[in-house]
């Protein structure tokens, strides 16, 4: 089949002498995707929505998971990546960029055969400007495993979520929505680990990704540490509303104290210690409201039933529910990153955001000695 231009080639946006059909790298793990976390301030519901394209494997896929009580209700879809790269839809799931960096619509069509299943129509609106996260590079030995560019943003959300034959109104002031856009190279299933897997298997991994929305400010904290506590990624940034005239403020080297549920690595409370340029200390405190393991329904590793970027054939759609009342039913969930919606406090103000956390294997600063180690 001839390699022809695609509609996106009409626009002056090229970064290399290639069609927009192609990415510069030939790495099969090239990706470009987004994630939204939509949650109420009472801790009743947490909806996670994402979509990704994998140009070198020719796949587009999307997912939505709703944590409601002790259940997760999931919708996933996958298809062949087409020529219209501005069409952010696959199966029943669609994301529409109404105004870049300002307004985005999120949709999931109902299943005609299951009127009580998950569907939604939501409008996300930015409350703060999008900000860059640090350039993220991760190697195992000499093998580049991950190189990503990401921006993060917080806003509000309105609309309706439908499930169990009822409507869950998403109302302004009672819900918060954060989002992340990233692209680059990131492992997807199907590649042999080779020497990197055999000789450079990580002893431990510790991750915190924490976007928090207050009425008058947005805060972003991200930390990644190895088993001995060495940091590969570290940033804390305070952002003010667009038009405020106030500059972004760096808040030093974040240090976090996490209170875990006994016998687990499930956080119940956390305190992030921060410092401004005048060396004034700040404490950002998080109280967990509800949690959604990204390995259950959302396709993040080590999910066993579906992972991002995998070829499922054309027109694949899957809807299912997961019971979280028995932790033993999903033993791998604890070895994947978990999104926790949380109530935060800072300087007496209350805000809402996501405390995304993953801690696996040895982590000396936390006192974890191996993969089987948990909090006392």
Q: Return the H-helix or E-strand segment holding 37.
A: strand 30-40
Any idea how long the chain is? Answer: 376
Q: Which residues of 288-309 are buried (b: 16+ CB within 10 A; e: fewer)?
A: bbbbbbbbbbbbbbebeebbbb
Q: How deeply is 318 buried, as exposed, middle or buried, from its count of CB atoms within 10 A (0-12, 13-18, 19+)?
A: middle
Average pLDDT over residues 258-269: 97
User: Helices (H), strands (E): how many in the chain?
Assistant: 1, 23
Work out the pLDDT band at 1, boundaries 50, 70, 90.
low
pLDDT at 216 over 60: yes
Per-residue pLDDT, 145: 86
| Cβ contact 37:106 at 8 Å | no
What is each CA distance from 98 to 60, 88, 105, 314, in whole angstroms? Answer: 21, 12, 7, 27
Which SS3 state, helix, strand or coil, does residue 61 take?
Answer: strand
Torsional class of 229: left (φ above 0), alpha (ψ -120 to 50), beta (otherwise): left
- Cα separation, 359 vs 337, in Å, equals 8
pLDDT at 181 over 70: yes
Q: Where are the domains of the chain?
A: 31-186+203-366
Global pTM reads: 0.96
pLDDT one-digit tens code per residue, 330-356:
988 999 999 999 999 999 999 999 999
């Amino acid at each position: 089949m001839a390699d022809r231009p695609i509609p996106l080639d009409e626009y002056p946006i090229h970064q290399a002498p290639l069609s927009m059909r192609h990415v510069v790298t030939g790495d099969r793990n090239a990706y470009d995707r987004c994630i939204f976390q939509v949650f109420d301030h009472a801790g009743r519901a947490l909806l996670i929505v994402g979509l990704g394209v994998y140009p070198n494997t020719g796949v587009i896929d999307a997912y939505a998971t709703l944590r409601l009580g002790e259940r997760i209700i999931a919708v996933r879809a996958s298809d062949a990546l087409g020529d219209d790269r501005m069409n952010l839809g696959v199966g029943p799931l669609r994301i529409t960029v109404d105004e870049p960096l300002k307004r985005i619509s999120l949709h999931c069509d109902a299943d005609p055969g299951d009127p009580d299943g998950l569907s939604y129509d939501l409008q996300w609106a930015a409350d703060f400007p999008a900000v860059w996260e640090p350039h993220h590079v991760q190697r195992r030995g000499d093998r580049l495993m991950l190189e990503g560019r990401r921006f993060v943003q917080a806003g509000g959300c309105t609309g309706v979520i439908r499930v169990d034959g009822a409507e869950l109104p998403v109302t302004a002031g009672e819900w918060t929505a954060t989002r992340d856009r990233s692209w680059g190279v990131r492992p997807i299933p199907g590649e042999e680990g080779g020497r990197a897997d055999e000789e450079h298997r990580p002893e431990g991994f510790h991750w915190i990704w924490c976007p928090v929305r207050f009425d008058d400010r947005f805060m972003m904290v991200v930390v990644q540490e190895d088993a001995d506590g060495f940091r590969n990624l570290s940033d804390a940034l305070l952002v003010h509303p667009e038009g405020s005239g106030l500059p972004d403020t760096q808040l030093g080297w974040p240090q976090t104290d996490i209170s875990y549920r006994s016998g687990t690595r499930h956080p119940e409370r956390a305190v992030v210690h921060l410092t401004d340029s005048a060396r004034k200390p700040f404490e950002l405190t998080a109280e967990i409201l509800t949690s959604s393991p990204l390995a259950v329904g959302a396709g993040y590793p080590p999910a066993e039933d579906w992972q991002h970027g995998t070829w499922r054939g054309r027109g694949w759609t899957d809807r299912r529910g997961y019971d979280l009342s028995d932790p033993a039913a999903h033993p791998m969930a604890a070895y994947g990153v978990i999104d926790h919606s949380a109530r935060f406090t800072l300087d007496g103000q209350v805000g809402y955001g996501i405390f995304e956390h993953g801690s696996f294997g040895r982590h000396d600063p936390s006192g974890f000695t191996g993969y089987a180690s948990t909090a006392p």
